[in-house]
Structure 1
Amino acid sequence: MNRVLIFDVNETLLDIESLTPVFEEAYADPTAMREWFAQLVLYSMTLTVSKQYVDFFTLGRAVAQMLADIRGVDITEAHLDRLASAMSQMPAHPDVEDGLQSLRAQGFRLVTLTNSPTNPHRPSPLDNAGLGGYFERQFSVDPCRAFKPDPGVYLQVCRELEVQPDECVMVAAHVWDTIGAQAAGMRGALITRPGNAVLQASETVLPHVTATDLQDLARQLGDA
């Protein structure tokens, strides 16, 4: 039975829509946030495939500047600093805390795996959102010098926890994340946050579980 749940953080647990006011101020366009996030994911994957690496926060600032250059917008260091601060202070989605409580009560081991770097001397965004206590470990891709969905970042969690991939379920709001985890031998659980859906490309990329939120996930895993 899959007893280890590995959670993505940004958008799966924490609400990235909270970043929208920063982009509305800097770009005079609230839709710029989603464009920035999509480009951030694209270039994180590009660096990984190219065997290059910079941390996710550094890349986030660089993509924000690139987007400003493309749009012909002047953004300041103050705007970029506000973005970095907002990324560390994102609130949890309303369903998350109750869902985590239910999953923990069912006996699952809960850990996280994020593209964002961690700093042992500072609270993580999860800690700032009041969720850090629910998790046994908070893993970052940073030690691997690669971003998800590179298989190595999922397998590092298995090594650290001394479990096999088939004992784990990757819980994410992004289907590229569940696909990566499944390629590494895990099961995938897709949380269909607004703007996310199942990719109907082939049977092999379909998530094993599809849930609307963490409370729905807890119900489904409890019934399994």
Structure 2
Amino acid sequence: MNHSTPRTRRPSDGEWAGGEPAVLVFDVNETLIDFESMSPLFEKIFGDRRVMREWLGHLFMYSMTVTLSGLYEGFFTLGQGLLKMVGDVHGVEVADADVEEIRQAMLTMPAHPDVEEGLTRLGDAGFRMVTLTNSPPNPQGRSPLEHAGLARFFERQFSVETTRAFKPAPQCYHMVAQELDVPPSSCCMIAAHVWDTMGAQSAGFTAGLITRPGNAPLPVASLPQPDLVAPDLPALAGLLISRRRP
């Protein structure tokens, strides 16, 4: 795989910065499934549903910290530990029953309401679709994607558990391309977070950003910009379909 630094990419009017993507690689957490569904649990524990966003920000930050430090722990285990840490910060005692309730909620979050329509349009258009998530497989039962009723749309579900490094580490994206036996330039990362699109683009992917609430492009000219930006998945599907060569 080529690990050289790619040129900066900016959104364009109908031209892909790399090759036209053959495989759409979807992030799962927040992109397809709705973390906001857990906000009532955080309101019950902390008295403030906004603490969910604080905890989620820590979860993303510390997953990256663990990888940069050469360490590894599963996403769900890390999330449970961070729940206790956020409790200490707020002076709230988080009981073991609260931790278990959040763990179960992380496994059973619903899909965003727009996702099924968008995936159906892309599937009908003939796109190959896989997922790449920071969440580990669930050997005791169904994956979050299966609980959300979305697994049927994807030919494979990839987890960073294979690489033991969290996104946006380049080996996560290269692993997907290698497993599918396609070059990175044939893959397009679809995510709601710029840190994920940027990581994928730095590994040679193209990228589409879904600007879920609380997410937006990062306007720094020296950094890779998403090839496509849309407010929801049906809108992004329309852009992807319109760019397909006949």
TM-score by length of 2: 0.89
Q: Counterpart in 1 of 2:10?
A: none
State the Cα distance separating 1:204 from its structure 2 match. 3.5
Q: How does 1:120-199 map to 2 (within 5 A)?
A: 120-199=139-218
Structure ranking higher in helix proportion: 1
Q: Counterpart in 2 of 1:21?
A: 40
By relative contact order (CA 8 Å, sep 6+), the higher-ranking structure is 2
Give the one of 8, 12, 33 matched to 2:31.
12
Report Cα offsets for 1:117-163 as digits up to 9, x if no partner.
00345211110111111100011001111100000001100111111
Tell which deviates more after alignment, 180-189 or 201-210: 201-210
Structure 2 letter corresponding to 1:163: V
Report Cα offsets for 1:75-121 as digits up to 9, x if no partner.
10000000001111111111100100110111111100000000345
Q: Kindly report the root-mean-square deviation, in angstroms, between the aligned alpha carbons of the 2 structures.
A: 0.9
**CA–CA distance in structure 2, aligned partners of residues 57 and 194 of structure 1:** 23
Report Cα offsets for 1:157-216 as digits up to 9, x if no partner.
011111110000000000000000000000010000011000001254211110111100
State the Cα distance separating 1:21 from its structure 2 match. 1.1
TM-score by length of 1: 0.98
Structure 2 letter corresponding to 1:85: Q
Q: Counterpart in 2 of 1:56?
A: 75
1:108–1:52 distance in 2 versus 1, CA, 3 Å: same
Structure 1 segments, 4+ long, off by >6 Å, are none
Provide the aligned length of Structure 1 versus Structure 2.
224
Q: Counterpart in 2 of 1:117?
A: 136
**CA–CA distance in structure 2, aligned partners of residues 121 and 82 of structure 1:** 16
- Point out where structure 1 has 5 or more consecutive residues left out of the alignment: none
